Amino acid sequence: MYKRITKSHFFRTFSSLPNLTSCITTLQSSATNINLHQGKKLHAYMLINGFLTSPISITSLINMYSKCNAISDAFLVFSSSSTSNCELNVFAYNAIIAGFIFNDMPKPALRVYQRMRLAGVTMDKFTFPCVVKAFSGYGDVVGFKIVHGLVFKSGVDHDLFVGSAVVNGYLKFGLMADAHKVFDEMPDRDVVLWNAMINGYAQIGEFQNALECLRKLRAEGNVPSRFTVTGILSVLTLKGDLHNGKAVHGLVTKMGYFSGIAVCNALIDMYGKCKSFLDALDIFEVMAIKDIYSWNSVIGVHQQSGDHEGTLKLFDRMLRDGVFRPDLVTVTTVLPACSHLAALRHGKEIHGYMITKGLGKDDDDTYINNAVMDMYGKCGSMREAQLVFDHMTIKDSASWNIMIMGYAMHGFGHEALNVFHKMREANLMPDEVTFVGVLSACSHGGLVKEGQEFLSQMESRYEIAPTVEHYTCVIDMLGRAGLLEQAYGLLSEMPIKTNSVVWRALLAACHLHGDANLAKIAVRKVIDLEPEHCGSYVLMSNVYGTMGRYEEVSDVRHNMRQQKVKKTPGCSWIEFGNGMHVFGTGDRTHPDEELIYSKLGSLYMSMGLCQTT
């Protein structure tokens, strides 16, 4: 083994065989460059040459393994040293605790900390930042406060690194007043400490205070860092403040921070959420180096702009690009685009991708599985939605609501109510969304009696005040069932403000049952509440059309022209083979038009209807 190592190319980089000092220097470079291969060779060499009795070697090896994503090896070095003749000192404890924190493992970090205390090793200003982070990461507020006490006792409370960690810890627990007290008592403040406060205020939505911190930070002569910029951008994003967002964009240019990927990602997000979509896309395109956040943010931009096709195109580009694999965040952004477009094939592909990559298989992946279920539901595949639902170990109220809504949407009223009853059996309290689903299930399934009962139970039994959306479902339900007077009565007696949507539901019912008199009342209300909406004029003209009152049809059309209301032609589409097929009213442009209309004709025949087109 020794002979093979000494002959290797690796050792030719040294002018003579490395001594302890050069081993440690090289271990540091292995850690910085994440070169595990080089680090392991040095480890072997040091073992053979008896260098591992030095505490410095142990610390350097622990650090190298921690930084090279080999935390278990780091812990092995730590544990085996305590049993050998090398006594563990504060450096070794600090290094392994830091290693666990670096690898986002607060629990084992805390176990080592307890061991360190039992061993009577005195903690120093290097121990505390990591231990503090371990307690806040593990969510142990009592332990965290005890350590804060020890910070005082050890006299390191004025150290900037310790102070920043404590402030961040309190902020993580949502204890702003305590964080502020620690911040105020610090004799010196650097940009990192200020950044902690900026982010703390951002988290609790106190945007003005966050911006005030930025002002004070600069007034005290600190230079905003890349981290300050991302923190402030997150504030402006939540505030929807495009004006100041653009000013920060200027600052980024001035400071030369464009090289920071996170800064650019924050700018993309800010422009996207502030609806300045082209600016967001521009930044993404000019970024020399992108990461998974860049892709996810810009995919989010397409979603926010309502460009669902753009979202799918970008997803394809990401796959073709091949540098970053879609993660949970990516698929949660792309799945709703499939739902909107009813793009079942794309949705299935993404679900398939998730299965092969093991995404969404964990118990707590409820959110992503909800998105998959919603996609199947909106694309009309309730069987698949039910399968996903059945396999989920943890279901939240959204999971149940999605199933109820899915069945309701496709007219499976009884199935929807069945899910609702099972939800109750599972002791989950229904919310507003649940009842929108339940009531639309009653409406689409013609379950009038049940729907009326649910509306009355909402407040008395579930303490949920019905909103205009709930009333709309019920009015739609009564209207579809031909109970127009009852629908009108409910609408007139509604204890909350009506809107154009609920009146339009009544209008649609008037069309269905040919009640021109009630339609007139409804249409007046709709036009009053939303004059620019074309749907109500069209419905009114259809009501007259069905009754053969063509003069009135022409009056409505004339009125529409006078009001400069334009009707956007409606269309439907279906995914088939490799493409999307779009159809407008009376559209005969499809290449398979003859075949399609002949099939349509035979379907009409089977349904006992005459072909009208």
Partner DNA sequence: TTAGGGTTAG
Q: Using CB under 7 A as the criterion, which residues of the chain lie in contact with DNA when the complex forms?
A: 24, 28, 55-56, 59-60, 63, 89-92, 94-95, 98, 101-102, 124-126, 129-130, 133, 159-165, 168, 190-193, 195-196, 199, 225-228, 230-231, 234, 237, 260-263, 265-266, 269, 291-293, 296-297, 300, 303, 327-329, 332-333, 336, 367-368, 370, 398
Considering beta carbons, is residue 52 or 491 the nearer one to DNA? 52
Min dist. Cβ of residue 497 to DNA (A): 25
Contact partners, residue 7, CB within 8 Å, separation at least 6: none
Phi, psi (rounded to 5 degrees) for 136: -70, -35
DSSP 43: H
3-state secondary structure of 18: coil
State how far the Cα of 314 lies from the Cα of 584, in Å rounded to an integer: 27
Q: What is the secondary structure of 137-172 as a DSSP string?
A: HHT-HHHHHHHHHHHHHTT-TT-HHHHHHHHHHHHH
Min dist. Cβ of residue 164 to DNA (A): 4
**Cβ atoms of residues 435 and 466 within 8 Å:** yes
Question: In Å, how far from its chain's centre is CA 111?
Answer: 33
- 516's tokens: 């021109």
Min dist. Cβ of residue 517 to DNA (A): 40
State how far the Cα of 169 lies from the Cα of 166, in Å rounded to an integer: 5
Considering beta carbons, is residue 164 or 541 the nearer one to DNA? 164
**No. of helices (H) and no. of strands (E), the chain:** 34, 2
Q: Which residues of 366-378 are buried (b: 16+ CB within 10 A; e: fewer)?
A: bebbbbbbbbbbb
State how far the Cα of 323 lies from the Cα of 290, in Å rounded to an integer: 9
Q: Could you give the angle at which helices 397-409 and 382-391 cross, rounded to 10 degrees?
A: 160
Considering beta carbons, is residue 125 or 557 the nearer one to DNA? 125
Min dist. Cβ of residue 62 to DNA (A): 8
Instruction: State the chain's maximal CA–CA distance in angstroms.
Output: 105
Considering beta carbons, is residue 217 or 540 the nearer one to DNA? 217
Considering beta carbons, is residue 150 or 191 the nearer one to DNA? 191
Considering beta carbons, is residue 46 or 101 the nearer one to DNA? 101
Considering beta carbons, is residue 272 or 479 the nearer one to DNA? 272
Min dist. Cβ of residue 145 to DNA (A): 18
Min dist. Cβ of residue 126 to DNA (A): 3
Considering beta carbons, is residue 349 or 431 the nearer one to DNA? 431
Min dist. Cβ of residue 601 to DNA (A): 40
Min dist. Cβ of residue 516 to DNA (A): 39
Phi, psi (rounded to 5 degrees) for 216: -65, -40
Letter for the amino acid at 258? F
Tokens 């009355």 locate to 456
